[in-house]
Amino acid sequence: MKSERPVLILGPTATGKSALAVALAERLDGEIISADARAIYRELNIGTAKPPPHLRALVPHHLIDFLDPSEHYDVMQFRRDALTAIEEIRARGKFPIVVGGSTLYISALTGTFFAGPKADPQIRQRLEAEPQEKLRARLEEIDPEAARRIHPNDKVRTVRALEVYELTGLPISRWHKESKVPFPYQFTKIGLTLDRTVLYERINARVEQMLAAGLLEEAKALKAKLTPEMPAYRTIGYEELFQYLDGKISYDEAVRLIKKHTREYAKRQIIYFKRELDVHWIDVTGRAPEEVLDEVLAILQKPSNPL
């Protein structure tokens, strides 16, 4: 049984998406494409919760560990790379399975891409605190076209342009130019949900596991290579530990913030993914992985999913 549509597994962090994707790929002779905006970077291993080596050894994974942490990578590049990966997997006679929780990357594949990213309160607050002259100079550097269109004293639009660039790696002028071209493939969307209390408990426990596995040591090694304007620097788990290493907060406060920010991120993911249409939602609370896999396979066998 192979659907003509690739499968897209989405949902908040810590719901078991990676393990489900591997189990599904083993059953369907598939390969996995990551839709995670931080798993693309080498050296960000523990804090990004990449699929562990034993899972990656079972099934080929794509768009993981292929960029240096200092490099920039935007959502348009992801869209192109994901399309290439899908077509190459299909050409090998294998089944493509996209899995991830990066809302912008998912939206790039499902048709809500060109609405643009939502405001990020933390980024916006930081930018608004800077002098307009400094913001203007940066805008002229990264997006001369937008700088010509935005009045030099218009701080609101300047901040928004810089915010979009920080969130996506793309100049806002490029967003304005892009027409809404549908992604060439439609997906069978599988969404995983989990009781909110259980989800938050899992998140807190996973942070502790990451720290026990050496997250602080990984952050120390990365700190010398990254600067605050790099997307990799602004990764939950690392940014808080960078603050600790700079002496700005205590270790206990860094751990508290990692847990808090991860829970908040999961909440944003839940809100965002609720807007996705035609998702087969599966509540995985208290269910064995094999039971969840069987439900996914049953969904793929339905007549509404072209075979």
Considering the domain boundaries, does residue 80 fall inside one? yes
| Total domains present in the chain | 2
Same domain, 173 and 273: no
Domain boundary among 177, 205, 224: 177
- The predicted-structure confidence for 158-179, as pLDDT tens digits, reads as follows 998 999 898 888 888 887 776 4
Considering the domain boundaries, does residue 306 fall inside one? no
- The predicted-structure confidence for 86-130, as pLDDT tens digits, reads as follows 999 999 999 999 999 998 899 889 975 554 667 788 898 999 999
How much is the pLDDT for 250?
A: 98
Same domain, 15 and 105: yes
Same domain, 129 and 206: no
Nearest to 24 by CA among 289, 302, 306: 289
Considering the domain boundaries, does residue 116 fall inside one? no
Q: What is the mean pLDDT of the chain?
A: 91
Same domain, 197 and 56: yes
Domain boundary among 156, 177, 198: 177
- The predicted-structure confidence for 218-269, as pLDDT tens digits, reads as follows 999 999 999 988 889 989 999 999 999 999 999 999 999 999 999 999 999 9
Domain boundary among 139, 154, 177: 177
Same domain, 148 and 296: no
Considering the domain boundaries, does residue 52 fall inside one? yes
Percent of the chain with pLDDT over 90: 72
Considering the domain boundaries, does residue 44 fall inside one? yes
Considering the domain boundaries, does residue 48 fall inside one? yes
Look up the domain containing 189 and give its range. 7-111+185-300
Same domain, 143 and 59: no
Considering the domain boundaries, does residue 307 fall inside one? no
Same domain, 98 and 165: no
CA distances in angstroms from 249 to 174, 228, 240, 244, 253, listed in the order given: 38, 17, 8, 5, 6
Domain at 281, CATH number: 3.40.50.300
**Enclosing H/E stretch for 96:** strand 95-99
How much is the pLDDT for 73?
A: 86
How much is the pLDDT for 305?
A: 62
Give CA–CA dist 118/7, Å, rounded. Answer: 26
Same domain, 189 and 172: no
pLDDT at residue 297 tops 50: yes
Does 120 or 214 have the greater pLDDT score? 214
Contacts of 264 (CB under 8 A, 6+ apart): none
Please, what's the b/e burial string for 215-236 (b: 16 or more CB within 10 A of its CB; e: otherwise)? bbebbeebeeebeeeebbbbbb
Average pLDDT over residues 178-199: 89
pLDDT at residue 307 tops 50: no
Contact criterion met (CB below 8 Å) for 190 and 9: yes
Name the band, by pLDDT with cuts 50, 70 and 90, for residue 213: very high
Average pLDDT over residues 66-89: 92
